[in-house]
Amino acid sequence: MDRNFRGVTNIGPRFPNWLQTQTNIKRLNFFNSSIRDTMPKWFENILSHILDLDLSNNQISGTLPQFHRDLSNQMGDGILKMNSNKFEGSMATFPTNVYIMDLSDNLLSGHVPQPDATMKPSLIVVSLSKNRFTGSIPVQLCKVTSIQVLDLSQNKFNGRLPECLGNLINLKAMDLSNNTITGIVPDSLGFLTKLQSLHLHSNRLEGHLPLSLQKLAEWSQWI
């Protein structure tokens, strides 16, 4: 029998031991559950069956090694929300077959791995904001054309804005603010005709906003 654990509150401060024996969990929602624990190694054993995972708004610490690889292979069109915790270290893989991936407000660092371009993209929301990621924005991300919301703000990304960001034709909101991105804003962003919100402030960009962007009339917010 498939099992769902949704909205379980105040189960902390540690992960419950009974969870180790639950091998048929499809949806696990421990949002704001007062967990103050390191991610246990045994948690990987239940990941292969989970479709939706929400561990957000806790104080979970530890690294994410094989964790994301399991989700990437198994979750298909699921939800991955682990924002507002204390996870640290680097991302092992970049799952593309979840449709919401929120790892914001953690202590993650290093380079963001290249998404697997061979996967059928289903990502709609990507939020990696408020971490310590470095390096350039991964160019393979441009091939995940399903993305509608991309938030990489408040990190330490550097390098230039990839010209290929103009391939994200379904993008409605993009926030790259508060990084150390350099160079000019590429004309290709003018192809993002569905864009309603763009934040590029607090970087090291130079030059003028391309005319192609200025002609986008449906914007509700841009900086």
| pTM, full prediction | 0.90
In angstroms, the CA 161 to CA 182 distance is 7
Average pLDDT across the chain, whole number: 86
Mean pLDDT in residue range 16-22: 89
- Report the number of distinct structural domains present in the chain: 1
Q: What is the pLDDT of residue 198?
A: 93
pLDDT at residue 138 tops 90 = yes
Peptide bond connecting 13 to the previous residue in cis, omega within 30 degrees of 0: yes
3-state secondary structure of 80: strand
| 23-32, 152-161, 203-212, range with greatest mean pLDDT | 152-161
Domain range for 124 is 3-222
Is the Cβ–Cβ distance between 209 and 185 less than 8 Å? yes
Amino acid at 128: L
pLDDT in tens, 151-202: 999 999 999 999 999 999 999 999 999 999 999 999 999 999 999 999 999 9
pLDDT at residue 54 tops 90 = yes
Tokens 């449906």 belong to 218
- Residue 209 confidence class, pLDDT cut points 50, 70, 90: confident
pLDDT at residue 114 tops 80 = yes
Is the Cβ–Cβ distance between 197 and 216 less than 8 Å? no
Mean pLDDT in residue range 28-41: 94
Quick one: tokens of 119? Answer: 């996967």
C-alpha pair distances (Å), 143 with each of 49, 86, 164, 196: 27, 30, 8, 20
CATH code: domain of residue 58: 3.80.10.10
| 35-49, 65-79, 208-222, range with greatest mean pLDDT | 35-49
Quick one: tokens of 155? Answer: 């990190």
Mean pLDDT in residue range 9-16: 85
